[in-house]
Amino acid sequence: MPDTTPPTNTVPDAQAGNWTDRYAPDWLKPYARLARWDRPIGFWLLFWPCTWGMALAANADPVAGFNWWHAVLMLVGAILMRGAGCTFNDIVDRDIDMKVARTRLRPIPSGQVTARAALLFLVAQALLGAIILFQFNRFTVWAGVASLVLVAIYPFMKRVTWWPQAFLGLAFSYGALVGWSSQTGGLALPALLLYAGTILWVIGYDTIYALQDVEDDALIGVKSTARLFGERTQLIVGGFYAAAYILWLAAAMLAGAGIVYAALSLVAAGLLGWQVWTVDPKIPDNPRFRFDTNKYVGVVVVLALLADWVW
């Protein structure tokens, strides 16, 4: 049987036997881990809102339809910009990461990559991301540039507010606006509702993710909604998820979707409800696994929108 034991320097929250650890050359592994290529869940969560915005626009203008090439570009862009964002986050958080069990083996605090080398890697990813962005219309280009402000301030928020997850939501949900504008050349109420709902979704799932670090965060003084909500976390996250679903439904209806979307999207609602009902930070890996299932929420929502467009 093949050896699936994680190699030395594997980050604790990366899946054992991931692509990076198995196949990447040794010189690339630290940079791949810096960009989180060993944990692809992040770029999927960044990418799916882009496709939601595009599919929502397809429902609003069925003749124009869904641009599959734009979806491919956005997937590549999501990988690059998620990697750049994580690299920037690790540069800023390198002192904090050394004090948290889950993050102390990340490339910078463990000494695999210097801060200077990480900065050069950040610039390279950002430049490639810019090439992708410039394939879209002018409004989308400027909207994408504006999003960099949110990316830049997010790593500092855990030091000054109990709501860093809200700032992550503003940044990670931005694809909903960019996806819509890439097809329409502007913004409209359905896109804004989709964005608002997606922000609430991100706050919910990142609160679940942050449950893993509550004890370490308390020791070093890092703030999070998981610490803020405490024993009420399930109830409050459930409220965020319910509001997110209602806003998604409203956005879809305003864009012209109907019963097909409403029926199929109930699967996403069920997944969100299951996360809230079964999350238990006392069980090892329980919050991380529930967080990971949000990639399926993303799949369901875009397929529901596309199915309604086809119908």
Measured distance between the N- and C-terminal CA atoms of the chain, rounded to whole angstroms: 47
Determine the distance from the C-alpha atom of residue 24 to the mean position of all C-alpha atoms in its chain, rounded to a whole number.
Answer: 23
Q: Quote the pLDDT of residue 58.
A: 96
Q: Quote the pLDDT of residue 95.
A: 81
What the chain holds in terms of domains, given with CATH numbers, is 23-310 (1.10.357.140)
Length of the chain as a residue count: 311
State the pTM of this model. 0.90
Tens of pLDDT along the chain (311 residues) come to 333 434 445 665 566 667 787 878 888 888 999 998 888 899 999 999 999 999 999 999 998 889 999 999 999 999 999 999 999 989 998 887 787 777 788 888 888 999 999 999 999 999 999 999 999 999 999 999 999 999 999 989 988 999 999 999 999 999 999 999 999 999 999 999 999 999 999 999 999 999 988 888 888 888 999 999 999 999 999 999 999 999 999 999 999 999 999 999 999 999 999 999 999 999 989 999 999 999 999 999 999 999 999 98
The tokens of 6 are what? 């994680």
Distances in Å between the Cα of 277 and the Cα atoms of 53, 128, 208 are: 29, 41, 12
Alpha carbons 33 and 149: distance in angstroms, whole number: 24
Check if the beta carbon of residue 39 is closer than 8 Å to that of residue 13.
yes
Query: Could you identify the residue written with the tokens 């991100």?
Result: 202
Determine the distance from the C-alpha atom of residue 149 to the mean position of all C-alpha atoms in its chain, rounded to a whole number.
Answer: 17
